[in-house]
Amino acid sequence: MRQAAVIDSAYRITGVAREGGMAKIYRAIRIKDNKFVVLKILKEEFRHAPDALGRLNHEEEIGLLLNHHNIVNVYPHEGEKSFPYIVMEYADGATLAEFIEKHRWLVVPSALKIMMQLLDALEYIHSMGVIHQDLKPENIIMLPKGGIKILDFGLSYYSRATSSAWKNMLSIGGTPAYTSPQRLAGDISRDCDVFAAGVILYEMLTGSLPYKGEDLLSFSRGDLANLKAPRPSLGNPSIHPRLENIIMRAISPDKKDRFMSSTAFGYALAQIAKKSVSYKKRDVDWLLITFLVLLSAAAFIGYQFYILFHG
């Protein structure tokens, strides 16, 4: 799509934001009110593919349903479309994945701020009968002032979807490394989003994933008896033990050990957010030792002067 191209007399292309597997994301101006928007346009080779069209239409249907400050808005389009696309809110910022790649990990307060917003949005999404199913850092936009926006509901499950094809395709899931073993085994529930949120928190604080996708797939088939993630403090010693225990509970492969809702997960984090949840571990407190050595030296020198003048 060329720069300044006008789409359906309604949108003027201003640039390419990013490119996905089946679609290109363009920045645009909505001509009627000069508002910046984003157009998600199917690539030409997918414009007649039923799966790609179904996913785009499904994403638009769910986007028009949802209205939350931490979710990218989808706007209705008046009139016919020349080709398949959806109109979305313009959210200026890098993805969480890009931030982690650049900085390795986030400090604890920043990670918790993101998580509380994510879990609040999840509670709203679930209350609307939607399960995202593809939560991952690539689908979270970090806004300049500290907010976040969740995007890409193309793989989401919606119990009242008008597309019977999508409503019944329960085998569809997201990226395996962020998908619970139960979801990989075919069990669709809100729990899969809560598990993904736990994996995202782990990744934000360590820069690595707790599991490999193939390990979760094997566990979902019963091939592994003891799948266990490394404790996050091994990768980031600043993680407080209480926070670490919450993370390990959130990403447990066993469903009965995990938080059963985003609200429960958020409540657990809120309980420790008011206290010190990060610290620097030291096997030896060298600052204290240095102080004691200097204090002892001063005492010794003082004693020697006392002997010299009073002996």
| 159-190 exposure pattern, b = at least 16 Cβ within 10 A, e = fewer | eebeeeebeeeeebbbbbbbbbbbbbeeebbb
201: buried, middle or exposed (CB in 10 Å: 19+, 13-18, 0-12)? buried
The beta-carbon contacts of 109-112 under 8 Å, at least 24 apart in sequence, are: 109/278, 111/201, 111/204, 111/205, 112/269, 112/273, 112/277
Which of 134, 191, 193, 215 is catalytic? The answer is: 134
> Do 114 and 96 form a contact (C-beta atoms < 8 A)?
yes
134 noted as active-site residue: yes
The Cα diameter of the chain in Å comes to 105
Tell me how far the alpha carbon of residue 272 is from its chain's centroid.
20
Residue with tokens 């429960």: 264
Helix axis angle, 96-103 to 191-206, nearest 10°: 30
Q: Pull the structure tokens for residue 245.
A: 């225990």
Tell me how far the alpha carbon of residue 239 is from its chain's centroid.
19
Active site residues: 134
